[in-house]
Amino acid sequence: MSEKAQGFIPGQLLIAMPAMTDPRFERSVIYMCAHTTDGAMGLVLNRLVGEVTFPDLLEQLGIKPTKLDDEIRVHFGGPVESGRGFLLHSAEFVLEGTLVVDQAIALTASVDILKAIAEGGGPRQKLLALGYAGWGPGQLEEEIQANGWLHAAADPGIVFDDQLDTKWTRAMAKLGVNPTSLSNQAGRA
């Protein structure tokens, strides 16, 4: 049985319900990189890390950029391993160790991808994050059942664009949901 047939949601957006009480995830949109019986892992798409810049990060890693074409912002990927970097990117660029989540999006945690970007190469679309959101076996499923999260198909626009303030509303709209009409109560039909 496939992961999706078992109710797993790799490659989808995880969208916090309006009643989410955890301030780390309030109005969050998370791209789900992995979701199996062993647990789940994703990156928050709509929050930035305070004052850290991409050039600062390269300097800390001892990487001297030769060509930086665009401004890469550093995102808060989640509260787990907040010092560890992850690059969510378009899947046309793959290195050894890259996790290809689906045909459009991949995840790389190697410093080699940062070196490629610093030299003017690397993937066409990218989102750099420090830390990740993680769940143990069955934990995410319980949170979804308890009305903590919705999920929707991902699209590169929501995943990679810089419009952080509207990602949550746009992700909800993918489901045809008006956030003001949602109840905080979980239930079963």
Count of other CB atoms within 10 angstroms of residue 23: 6
Task: Find the CATH number of the domain harbouring 141.
Answer: 3.40.1740.10
Burial 140-163 (b: 16+ CB within 10 A, else e): bbebbeebbbbbbebeeebbbeee
| Number of separate domains in the chain | 1
2 within a domain of the structure (yes/no): no
Phi/psi of residue 108, nearest 5 degrees: -130, 135
| Residue 50 within any structural domain of the chain | yes
Residue 166 lies in a domain: yes
9-48 per-position pLDDT tens digit: 999 999 999 988 889 999 999 999 999 999 999 999 999 9
Query: What is the sign, positive or negative, of the torsion defined by CA atoms of 14, 71, 166, 154?
Result: negative
Question: Within a domain: residue 119?
Answer: yes
Per-residue pLDDT reduced to its tens digit, 66-79: 887 668 999 999 99
Q: What is the pLDDT of residues 83-128, one digit of tens each?
A: 899 999 999 999 999 999 999 999 999 999 999 999 999 999 999 9
The answer to whether residue 56 is domain-embedded is: yes
pTM of the complete model: 0.90
Residue 133 lies in a domain: yes
- Contact residues for 141 (Cβ-Cβ < 8 A; gap 6+): 7
Domain containing 50 equals 12-181
Report d(CA 123, CA 115) in Å as an integer: 12
The answer to the question of residue 47 being in a domain is yes
